[in-house]
Amino acid sequence: MSIFSKLGDLIGNATSGALSGVIEVVRTALEGDPETRRRVAFSIAMIALSAKMAKADGVVTPDEVIAFQDIFEISESESRNVSRLYNLAKQDIAGYETYAARMASLCGTGEANCLVLEDILDGLFHIAKADGVIHEKELAFLSRIADIFLIDEDRFEQIVARHSYASVRDPYAVLGVTRDTPFEEIRRRYRRLAAESHPDRLTARGVPEEFLAIANDRMSALNAAFADIEKERKAA
């Protein structure tokens, strides 16, 4: 059974039509299956917070819809389950901060800079930048999500740098190093970040295969940043 079919079953079993009812079903019904719970929780977090971000920004552009579909690589037959959850989140009167905290409790470890929560934030950035720019309201939304997810300021700035690299092109910010950092240390840093971003690692953290566009997007930015630094250092 695909992750989206599982979502359909959970929505059907919820005692409440609200998103909170679906979250509670995930918490209780999958308590004995932590691996599936992580995968389902990740999917719900991405769908629900995407909906909340769209509502916070006030405008959903065609590019953002395409980016949403790019991350959610789903069959036409299962798209209804995603749409149901997306609409539940848009209609729910609870604020996004409430759901971000609930998602963190389902997906995370309670530790700062939890990688699976960074994966969710990466997916939200992927959608936000789809129209060519991350708008002020979207950045404020994403910054607040990072706070709730216990992603510290330095790590958040690296994420911002990754997603704005095409226009800003600061390779050092992407890798979280400075121009004074020795090249061998930069290489080690790059290799560690690349290992964290490998699709197998994301799958092990609970990111469903349907969402691996996130890994491709991240790896592209990391590879480009390291290549630019390497070229610059060799030229010097």
Mean per-residue pLDDT for 116-138? 86
Reported as a pLDDT band with limits 50, 70 and 90, residue 212 is confident
Give 130's contacts (C-beta < 8 A, 6+ positions apart).
Answer: 61, 63, 64, 66, 67
Regarding predicted confidence, which is higher, 57 or 102? 102
pLDDT for the residue 110: 72
> Residue 47, exposed/middle/buried by CB under 10 A (0-12, 13-18, 19+)?
buried
Regarding predicted confidence, which is higher, 74 or 197? 197
**pLDDT(64) > 70:** no
Regarding predicted confidence, which is higher, 100 or 85? 100
Regarding predicted confidence, which is higher, 97 or 8? 97
Reported as a pLDDT band with limits 50, 70 and 90, residue 94 is low
- Nearest Cα residue to 171 out of 125, 219, 229: 229
Reported as a pLDDT band with limits 50, 70 and 90, residue 158 is very high
For 142-154, the pLDDT digits (tens) are: 999 999 999 999 9
pLDDT for the residue 3: 67
Regarding predicted confidence, which is higher, 182 or 18? 182
Task: Report yes or no: 219 and 197 within 8 Å, Cβ to Cβ.
Answer: yes
**pLDDT(30) > 70:** no
Instruction: Identify the top-confidence range among 26-30, 66-70, 77-81, 213-217.
Output: 213-217
What's the CA gap between 202 and 207, in Å, rounded? Answer: 5
What's the CA gap between 206 and 115, in Å, rounded? Answer: 10
**pLDDT(115) > 70:** yes
What is the model's pTM?
A: 0.79
pLDDT for the residue 222: 95
pLDDT for the residue 192: 96
**218 is written with which tokens?**
């991240």
